Structure 1
Amino acid sequence: MIKKAEFVVSNSDPSKCPKPERAEIAFIGRSNVGKSSLINMITGKKDLAKTSQKPGKTQLINHFMINDQWFLVDLPGYGFAKVNVKVKEGWENMIKTYLTKRSNLCGVFVLIDSRLEPQKIDLEFLLWCGVNGVPAALIFTKADKQSKTKTNQNVQKFLKKTEEIFEEAPDYFVTSSETGFGKESLLDFIDELVKEYESGALE
């Protein structure tokens, strides 16, 4: 359970992030996938992460301290709308450096819009995570925006595609920021990741 969530720092340079002394869980997804809304929903703070109708709002690596124990990290989206190529390349290099060099990163949640058929850009990003040993799990967002059947169909289609990339489908969660659906199981999973990291750090 998240009792306390505080913004700590924003960075464009991964080397200036807080010291890697605590477990860190990162959230990333395509522009406009509902990342800020999901972070606000799981932390129980309405305006912790800035939500925007304008895709590509998160342009920095944002660290939040959770329960004085671990870091939640809000990463810029990929597949940005309406930014020039140079800026886009800068963001992508920043994200890739962070994901591959951050020693205390114990989980990365890749957010997928449950209303859509499998998108090439999401699958390519997951493939990149797999090749680079980034510990990725999936969160399907916006489950309240359509019927349960339609959500399940899209989730299964996506998982089938991930099985073509990996030998087995990654862990996944179906969520709704509007209704809070999926919050408990997601927080339980994060709790396990943090505990696993901390017991490893003590050894």
Structure 2
Amino acid sequence: MKQTFKPAGKVLKGFLWADIGLTVLLMINVLIIGFIGAGEAFLNYDVVVSLVLTTIVIIYTIIYLVWLYRVHNYLQEMDPSYPITPGGALARVMIPLYNLYGVWNVYSTMANHFKKKPSISEIGMRLSKYVPIYYVLFLTTAILNSYLSRQPIEEFYSSLWFIAYSADIALVIMYIMIIKIVSAGLIKFSAEKNDSGSSADFS
């Protein structure tokens, strides 16, 4: 079975690290503007950084969906009884309101299936610990960003933006950790399955 999720995961992690770097720049900008003030040139620079970050977010969101689809396709190739289809996984994270349940369901289901296999049960346990942290950060950033998007332009450099950027970075770090641990679980299980030459599955 071709591990098509691996290259997508590597590219995705690269964009996520770029997100962190640019968000740190925006946090520094908030501090500079808040304590020192800034001229028009600096504000224009801040706008450019924000636009680049927005572009990167759009790109890695698309790559993330590709990665998620390929991960679930691989899971079903290894175990046809896996309960979430690739399309079902995309629906769970893309459909508004439904994704409040779906985001949790996608990763908790994956963690539970990993825990059923002795060789990757520890990975499943670690993933299950990541899920609630990821979910809380997912909700926190969604609420904060929704609130800030409705604020007047003069509030763009308030302390709340610094908090929102910090939460965004924490969420992206959790994304990276989840991508790494999911990939590690799939690769380890696949290697064991190939070495044994058996038709073992998660059940």
Bin for the TM-score computed over the shorter chain? under 0.3
TM-score by length of 1: 0.28
- State the structure with more CA Rg: 2
Which of 1 and 2 has higher RCO (CA within 8 Å, sep 6+)? 2
TM-score by length of 2: 0.28
Q: Whose helix proportion is higher, 1 or 2?
A: 2
